[in-house]
Amino acid sequence: MAIRQEQRAVAGRNKPQSYCDSWAGHGPASLLSSSANRGWSGLSAELRNHGKGTIPWMTSRSDIEICVDVCGNESLVTRRAAGIEDRSFARRGTIWLSPPGLHRFVDHAEDMVGILHMCLPLSQLSPSNLGSNIDGSAIGALRYERAFEDSLLAEIAYAIAAELHTETSAGNLLVETLASSLTARLVQKTANASSNQPFPLLTAKGLDRRRLFRVLDYIEANLEGDLTIDHMASIACLSKFHFARAFGQAVGQSPHRYVSARRLQRAKALLLQGDRSLADIALALSFSSQANFTRAFRQATGQSPGQYRRELSSCHRGKSLTVCGRPFRI
């Protein structure tokens, strides 16, 4: 009773997102969405419903698994592993962490809707990824955890769940950045409690104009290609974690938001040309399907790509511009 009263008191924070409603109809123990065909770098993820009952579960030997309740199920979850029995009521933002190779049993007292499973490769813990001096003890510190809450990890999970649900043009960049942030936060949170040295705060210096323009030119030249944080960071001669912060300081936007905006402008230009199909434009701008491109374009502009193309064509038909003193029809 006390738990439910507390949940009502923080109802605003635990209120399910709109995408939770669409997952609820899929039934128990079902895969709702997967990153398998998205080309993500840094982590993989699945959204699942889980039915009532007990299931055995084995974590891959090369991945750390982080599960997050992104909807708020208010269901009792019991996990048994490593000599620990963990009983907790799942609510929105509840997190379960399992190290590589862990065999465990998980019991759900009720059906659970919208559980995000994230698999983080151990390679994410390398110093080259985080840009800081992290030794092998960081991996050992990521041990089996009882259920816990962490607002930063939860927000990262919500962003990944939203990207799984609705693909965006720069989703790969977003996930790559979030994977680095997720890794840094996990190591910070689970580092050896006996150490007096906190996980180093990663400082970032704004990009100088020469390196910034080099990165911006690279982005512009590859809007219809494969843009990754790794490639952009290497052009700026920074680790990818430092790069994301430095780029944000210099431009005022994260890399994925900047690329999303530029790809939207490129999409408008390609639609205006009128000689490429919507499917071809979607593929060129790194969408996995025309439907996802249409959804993202409509969300950004209020129109479908087809409507935007028709309106521009009708507006421009019969109009003319003056170029170098001569009429030029558009």
pLDDT given at position 324: 34
- Choose between 57 and 63: higher pLDDT: 63
Core vs surface per residue 267-304: b (16+ CB within 10 A) or e: bbebbeeeeeebeebbbbbbbeebebbbbbbeebeeee
The whole-chain average pLDDT of the chain stands at 75
Using the predicted structure, report yes or no on whether residue 1 has a pLDDT greater than 60.
no
pLDDT digits 0-9 by tens, 167-205? 888 888 889 889 988 988 887 776 543 343 333 333 334
Ranges 110-114, 158-162, 264-268, most confident: 158-162
The pLDDT of 115-130, averaged and rounded, is: 80
Domain boundaries, the chain: 2-190, 209-316
Using the predicted structure, report yes or no on whether residue 106 has a pLDDT greater than 70.
yes
- Choose between 201 and 227: higher pLDDT: 227
The pLDDT of 308-329, averaged and rounded, is: 51
pLDDT given at position 292: 84
Using the predicted structure, report yes or no on whether residue 24 has a pLDDT greater than 60.
no
pLDDT digits 0-9 by tens, 35-49? 988 889 889 999 999
Q: Write out the CATH class of domain 2-190.
A: mainly beta
Using the predicted structure, report yes or no on whether residue 114 has a pLDDT greater than 80.
yes
The band of 286, judged by pLDDT with boundaries at 50, 70 and 90, is: confident
pLDDT digits 0-9 by tens, 58-96? 777 778 899 999 988 888 898 887 667 888 888 899 999
Using the predicted structure, report yes or no on whether residue 117 has a pLDDT greater than 90.
yes
Using the predicted structure, report yes or no on whether residue 118 has a pLDDT greater than 90.
yes
* Residue carrying the six token digits 């558009």: 330
Domain 209-316, CATH number (from 3.40.1670.10, 3.30.1490.20, 1.10.10.60, 3.40.50.1370): 1.10.10.60
Q: 2-190 and 209-316: same fold?
A: no
The pLDDT of 10-24, averaged and rounded, is: 46
Residue 50 CB neighbours (<10 A): 22
Task: List alpha helices for the chain, DSSP H.
Answer: 2-9, 11-14, 18-23, 127-130, 137-141, 151-165, 171-190, 209-221, 229-236, 240-251, 255-273, 278-284, 290-301, 305-316
pLDDT given at position 280: 87
